[in-house]
Amino acid sequence: MGENFSLLSIYDRFADGCRLFATRLCIEIDRSFSIKQENEFRLGMESCQLPDTKSHQICFTNHIRAGFLFFMPVLFLGLICCAPTKKKSADHSITGHNLNVIYAKGFTICDFGKYRKVTVLDPWQQSAGISFEYYLVDRDNELPAELTGKEVIRTPVSRVICLSTSHIGFLSALNEIPSLKALSGAAFVSDPGVLKAISSKSVFDVGYDQGINYELILSLKPDLIMAYGVGGEVTGFINKLRDLGLNVILNGEYLEENSLAKAEWIKFVGAFYNKDQEAADYFSKIEKNYNDIKQKVATVKNHPVVLTGLPYKDAWWIAGGHSNLAALIHDAGGEFLWNENTSREAFVVSLEEVVIRSAKADFWINCGMVNTLKELLATDSRFTVFPQVQKKAIFNNNLQMSPGGGNDYWERGVVRPDLILADLVKIFHPECDSGKVFNFYKKIE
Amino acid sequence: MVSEAFIIKNNSSRAFRILLLLSLLVPLFFLIDLLVGSYYVSIPEILKAIFRSENADAQIVLIINQFRIPKAFTAILAGAALSVAGLQMQTVFRNPLAGPYILGVSSGASLGVALLVLGTGGLLGGSIVSVVSSWGIVAAAWIGSGLVLLVIVMISARIKDIMTILILGILISSAISSVVNILQYFSNESTLKSFVVWTMGSLGSVTNIQLSVLFPSVLIGILIAFFSSKFLDAFLLGENYARSMGMNIRFARMMVFLSTCILAGSVTAFCGPIGFIGIAVPHIARMLLQTAKHSLLVPGTILIGALMMLVSDVISQLPGSDSTLPVNSVTALLGIPIVIWIIIRNKNNGMI
């Protein structure tokens, strides 16, 4: 008896171990795959940096940008949908906006006059060739016959539920906070207006993942739920909400490779509020600020080397060399310590490896929730050997923390990459005057 | 002498030879463990860094002294402590599936760490945001496992039947685990990740100063285990038999529980829960040494446990790569084939 039992439990453990190993292997394969895919993306990108082209062309290039090698069917669809656009919008020019998307790869907006089609491409990690289409029709207009059976959302929306606090940044930038009826993770909100609304019970917390409160969502009668997907399993969740008769859209802002592309999703969010023009104006202002600051440091000679992150025990997750953070460091005239890495996603290295590498780093930024040098050394006393600790060259992005632990860097920072960049320039190149005070960063001492 | 009665094969000289071999292998693998890591350091450089550090490259001295030596020592301590704790539990409960965590030590430690890392936000409505220091985690885990020890000792002082204690221990740890689950459920991603990484176990985060606390704790636990060897031999024959020999069963039990909780609790506090070693190593020791005498089994499990942990650590470093694997999964993947092989080979002996 005893023997059988122990064999069984040993088998269980073995199976667990194998599963873990297999998962790791899959991640590795996926990673190498996504690098390949990324390169092909970039191939399509070249032609997209041209400023101010006509809308039909932009629609076309956006589809190319989505990766013509990968998404031939999407490209084909795009050709069909966009070819008649010019003619139609000439006939009934309702919005008359230039639906120009420059940096973001994750969405396109196509104006058909009577309605707009918003397409979200590959909205979760390692998704390929997946797209969602939403048809936006003005509340006052009749539903065009060709849209029957399609996913139609009546705009402007007025009762919105955001399932990520980063979506709140977009709402705030568009002055649409009053439309927010509920969110996920109320404890981590930074926006003062939303915090006030939460305490006065006019904005609710619907929970997240498995704990989502469907009844609360239904009772709030939202006309739009903005969700995000970490993996393909989100489709189950979306379908469930759709079965309840709700409009769910996926926001893939967090997957964009650079900060301007992330901020450009304000155009995506704006479309649902019929604020295409406001969103475009807001973005071009941010874009100009960002590029001005970038220009300032473009000619600097020295590029300080930058270490990022904080380990969990002895495992240190490093942002990928093509991540948004690496791009920000580069734009701010710094050099990312793992510059040669070509991944978008974070990877894990041993603490020992970081000790060796950090010897040549000048700055250390984004170190978790650390506020003081003492707190940093409390997490691991061996940090004293890091040259950045001795030189006091550590800066953390948690200047703006809400009482509940929300970090404005992840909320307002999403729509204000120019402010983040200004902070980084102030850290790396104090000689280039980029603002008097820090917006999101503070010195750890 | 009583102990003569249950020696399956009276082959002490064989056991001694194996113990000798093991005590040579442990230092060998200690050196190998110093040698591997993401950064290549040659043997002469290591020796220079250890013995003549003033002449060596400062970076290498740093790596060896601050990272690799404490990690290798931690591996030895963790392997030895968990294996001895597992051996004691298997003997006292006369159950081959018992391990160091069967009394709920690791669940108690998890609860302590979960309360600290994940905060009491989910339960009390607010949320605590602060940086969690490494000593804070150690203290929380220790307090958690200490409280579980207290409960177990109180139960074992009242209840005679050892199986009832076993069942109560499992029930308590299940209850604690569900509280930990609730805390995990209500926590956000980054704190959840730091908690999950803690549950995966790690040897490399123990610093030299922490080692100076871990080492004496493990030493005390192991000394108690050595002194209880005789009790353990008697437990093998059943508690009634042991009582008839004039042994104070409750005192003996208490000593064994105390030793187990100190060993498993300290290692869990510093390294997180490390699975499998505690269950597998006592079996390996019994099969290799072919004896049931705890005066031989205790040193045997110490050496085999230390060796297994060192080998697991070498593998988890993934020599030649920047990354590491969580040591917890390596111990299981490494140990299970060994145990399966031993079980199949010894099937006719019916050892387990």
Q: Is the model's pLDDT at A52 over the cut of 50?
A: no
Q: What is the DSSP string of B145-156?
A: HHHHHHHHHHHH
Q: Using a pLDDT cut of 90, give the percent of chain B over it.
A: 24
How many Cβ contacts (< 8 angstroms) between chains A and B? Answer: 141
Contacts of A199 in chain B (CB under 8 A): none
Are the beta carbons of A313 and B324 separated by less than 8 Å?
no
Which residues, at least 6 apart from A112, have a Cβ–Cβ distance to it below 8 Å?
Answer: A81, A84, A85, A88, A89
Q: Are A335 and A303 in contact (CB under 8 A)?
A: yes
- Cα distances (Å, whole numbers) of residue B98 to A333, B160, B170, B279, B346: 58, 19, 10, 7, 20
pLDDT at residue number B347 = 62
- Least Cα separation, residue A348 to chain B (angstroms): 6
Helix (H) or strand (E) holding B239: helix B239-244
Mean per-residue pLDDT, B199-226: 90
Residue A309 Ramachandran class (φ > 0 left, ψ -120 to 50 alpha, else beta): left
10 Å CB burial of residue A371 (0-12, 13-18, 19+) is middle
Locus of tokens 């940044």: A169
- The overall average pLDDT reported for chain A is 78
Take residue B348 and report the two structure tokens written for it.
Answer: 């006719």
Could you tell me the pLDDT band of residue A79, with boundaries at 50, 70 and 90? very low
Mean per-residue pLDDT, B70-89: 94
Rounded CA-CA distance B310/B331 in Å is 10
Minimum Cα–Cα distance from B198: chain A residue: A313
- DSSP classification of residue A312: B
Could you read off the pLDDT of A211-236 as tens digits, one per residue? 788 889 999 999 999 998 888 788 88
Contacts of B89 in chain A (CB under 8 A): none
The listed range with the strongest mean pLDDT (A80-84, A206-210, A298-302) is A298-302
* H helical segments located in A83-213: 85-91, 165-173, 192-199
* H helical segments located in A66-141: 72-82, 85-91
Contacts of B126 in chain A (CB under 8 A): 404
pTM: 0.73
Helix (H) or strand (E) holding A261: helix A259-263
Contacts of B63 in chain A (CB under 8 A): 352, 355-356
Nearest to A3 among B39, B272, B352 (CB): B352
Rounded CA-CA distance A300/B3 in Å is 80
Least confident of A119-123, A237-241, A361-365, B316-320: B316-320
Are the beta carbons of B332 and A211 separated by less than 8 Å?
no
Locus of tokens 């292997």: A25
Mean per-residue pLDDT, A115-137: 88
Could you read off the pLDDT of A271-315 as tens digits, one per residue? 999 999 999 999 999 999 999 999 988 888 899 999 998 888 778
Q: Is the model's pLDDT at A24 over the cut of 70?
A: no
Are the beta carbons of A314 and B62 separated by less than 8 Å?
no
Rounded CA-CA distance A203/B136 in Å is 36
Count the helices and strands in chain B (H runs, E runs).
16, 0
Nearest to B39 among A20, A356, A404 (CB): A356
B residues 144-173 closer than 8 Å to A (CB): none
Take residue B313 and report the two structure tokens written for it.
Answer: 């650590």
Rounded (5°) CA angle A321-A323-A324: 135
Contacts of A6 in chain B (CB under 8 A): 96-97, 343, 352
Rounded CA-CA distance A190/A259 in Å is 20
Neighbours of A163 (CB within 10 A): 25
* H helical segments located in B66-161: 69-93, 105-117, 121-124, 134-158
Contacts of A9 in chain B (CB under 8 A): 97
**Bridging pattern class, strands A394-396 and A442-443:** antiparallel
Are the beta carbons of B202 and A314 separated by less than 8 Å?
yes
Are the beta carbons of B95 and A21 separated by less than 8 Å?
no
pLDDT at residue number B11 = 64
Map residue A216 onto helix, strand or coil: helix
Which residues, at least 6 apart from A126, have a Cβ–Cβ distance to it below 8 Å?
Answer: A30, A33, A34, A231
Minimum Cα–Cα distance from B200: chain A residue: A313
Could you read off the pLDDT of B110-123 as tens digits, one per residue? 998 888 877 644 44
Are the beta carbons of B37 and A185 separated by less than 8 Å?
no
Nearest to A380 among B38, B134, B343 (CB): B134
Are the beta carbons of B97 and A6 separated by less than 8 Å?
yes
Nearest to A187 among B121, B130, B275 (CB): B121
Dihedral sign, Cα of residue A154, residue A155, residue A156, residue A159: positive
Nearest to A382 among B66, B194, B324 (CB): B66
- Cα distances (Å, whole numbers) of residue A205 to A202, A214, A252, A366, B152: 10, 11, 21, 28, 41
Q: Are A322 and A343 in contact (CB under 8 A)?
A: yes
B residues 253-292 closer than 8 Å to A (CB): 272, 275-276
Cis before A156? omega within 30: yes
Are the beta carbons of A14 and B333 separated by less than 8 Å?
yes
pLDDT at residue number B338 = 75
- Cα distances (Å, whole numbers) of residue B70 to A367, B199, B204, B215, B329: 24, 20, 8, 11, 21
Q: Are B201 and B137 in contact (CB under 8 A)?
A: no
Take residue B60 and report the two structure tokens written for it.
Answer: 């290498």
Q: What's at B37, amino acid-wise?
A: G
Q: Are B231 and B221 in contact (CB under 8 A)?
A: no
pLDDT at residue number A304 = 93
B residues 115-134 closer than 8 Å to A (CB): 121, 126-127, 129-134
B residues 34-93 closer than 8 Å to A (CB): 37-39, 59, 62-63, 66-68, 71
| Rounded-to-10 torsion of CA B201, B206, B210, B214 | 50
**Mutation target among B131, B132, B333 for the A interface, most CBs of A within 10 A:** B131
Q: Are A316 and A348 in contact (CB under 8 A)?
A: yes
Largest CA distance in chain A: 83
Are the beta carbons of B59 and A356 separated by less than 8 Å?
yes
pLDDT at residue number B263 = 92
| Domains contained in chain B, CATH given | 12-324 (1.10.3470.10)
Are the beta carbons of B194 and A312 separated by less than 8 Å?
yes
Mean per-residue pLDDT, B280-287: 90
Rounded CA-CA distance A246/A250 in Å is 13
pLDDT at residue number A60 = 39
Q: Are A439 and A419 in contact (CB under 8 A)?
A: yes
Strand order in the sheet with A116-121: A107-111, A116-121, A131-138, A152-155
Q: Are A134 and A117 in contact (CB under 8 A)?
A: yes
| Domains contained in chain A, CATH given | 56-290 (3.40.50.1980), 299-443 (3.40.50.1980)
Q: What is the ipTM of this complex?
A: 0.72
